[in-house]
Amino acid sequence: MCSAHKKGMPDTCNVPRRPFDFMSYILFQVNGGSGKCIAATAVCAAIKKQYPDRSLIVVSGYPELFINNPNVRKSFAFGGLSYFYQDYISDRDTIPMMQDPYLEADAIYSKKHLIEVWCDLCRVKYNGEIPQIFMTQREIDGFQRQINVDKPIMLIQPNGGADPNKKYSWARDLPFDVVNKVVEHFRYRYAIVHFKREDQISYNNTFQVTAPMRQLLAISLLSQKRLLIDSFMQHASAALNLPSVVCWIVNKPSLYGYSLNTHICANKFTAIPELRSSYINQFDISGNEVEFPYNNESEIFDVDKIIKALEDNGNESSQIFSVNKNHFNSKIELPK
């Protein structure tokens, strides 16, 4: 008899184990924002391919991005881990995969795509997996009914980040004048839908949309053209097979981008940046003002090049979600 039972306490020693107690697990932790979580879904596919008999448990800041994913048994938020140790660690056969690919040499020097770096770090074979988002048709229809416009949709996401104290970053976001010129050029032919946080800048002649992540993804499927930055939507564009124009300032498409998109890289620097605070990356993605490598923001992009790329982008409709599944097994071709 258990010693606890002798003292009058409940006997837990002989309680039958639950079925999931005998499962083998992989614990995959994703530290970072929503874009990184979307990229992580590609790593989930590679993990599950190599370990088909293990159940994949994901812990991240955006568990909703793993909903309906057949590779993921359960997805947890960092703040919702009650009894996690008891259920998935203690006396379990669990393989932890909790490393951060951003800190690897191949990522720091942009030698490989982030997803391939991540697979290497987890000791999982990379098979060309790309991000995957799974939504039901009912979910898509329900969200899309909330959009009522009388023109084709152009989607823009000119700002990124999750810090409410940082509304604009020169290192990532599109300059105000660039966005205004793009909007002015297309507003008569397109309903321009602007994905934004409530605290971020709004633009005239656009439809501002602030909504939960999955609602934004469903709405994006209605768009015919897309102007994005290196933020969550450019990762989602690969997952949803939505060719887009993506603008890059300090980050590189060879590390974070996808071959279905048209990449517009910033012009050459016109000023010498002050980099005394730089650590493992040349620039702080939040946009440290002393690091600004131009004389003014008008020098960052050639807006005519962006407009031309948008004119060529998305002439076909992207509304049919079922075609996106054909893209899931495609290889990532790293942008040159």
pLDDT in tens, 93-132: 999 999 999 999 999 999 999 999 999 999 999 999 999 9
Q: pLDDT tens, 45-100? A: 999 999 999 999 999 999 999 999 999 999 999 999 999 999 999 999 999 999 99
Residue 126, domain member (yes or no):
no
Q: What is the pLDDT of residue 146?
A: 84
Residue 11, domain member (yes or no):
no
Confidence check: pLDDT of 245 > 90: yes
Residue 279, domain member (yes or no):
yes
Strand order in the sheet with 245-248: 207-209, 191-195, 153-156, 223-229, 245-248, 262-265
Q: Domain boundary at 77, 92, 121, which? A: 121
Residue 327, domain member (yes or no):
no
Could you tell me if 165 and 277 lie in one domain? yes
Q: Domain boundary at 95, 121, 147, which? A: 121
Q: pLDDT tens, 129-156? A: 999 999 999 999 999 988 889 999 999 9
Q: Structurally, how many domains does the chain consist of?
A: 2
CA proximity to 78, closest of 105, 98, 93: 98
Could you tell me if 151 and 264 lie in one domain? yes
Residue 204, domain member (yes or no):
yes
pLDDT-derived band at 164 (thresholds 50, 70, 90) equals confident
CA proximity to 227, closest of 201, 261, 277, 251: 261
pTM of the predicted model, to two decimals? 0.87
Could you tell me if 95 and 151 lie in one domain? no
Q: What is the pLDDT of residue 325?
A: 33
pLDDT-derived band at 270 (thresholds 50, 70, 90) equals very high
Could you tell me if 77 and 50 lie in one domain? yes
Residue with tokens 């614990």: 27
Q: Domain boundary at 121, 153, 181, which? A: 121
Could you tell me if 111 and 142 lie in one domain? no
Could you tell me if 37 and 183 lie in one domain? no
Residue 3, domain member (yes or no):
no
Please provide the average confidence, as pLDDT, over all residues in the chain: 89
Could you tell me if 199 and 284 lie in one domain? yes
Q: What is the pLDDT of residue 98?
A: 97
Could you tell me if 192 and 292 lie in one domain? yes
Q: What is the pLDDT of residue 165?
A: 80
Q: What is the pLDDT of residue 7?
A: 52
What whole-number distance in Å separates Cα of residue 191 and Cα of residue 171?
28
Q: Which domain covers residue 176, as residue numbers?
A: 138-318
Q: What is the pLDDT of residue 285?
A: 93
Could you tell me if 227 and 156 lie in one domain? yes
CATH number at residue 296: 3.40.50.2000
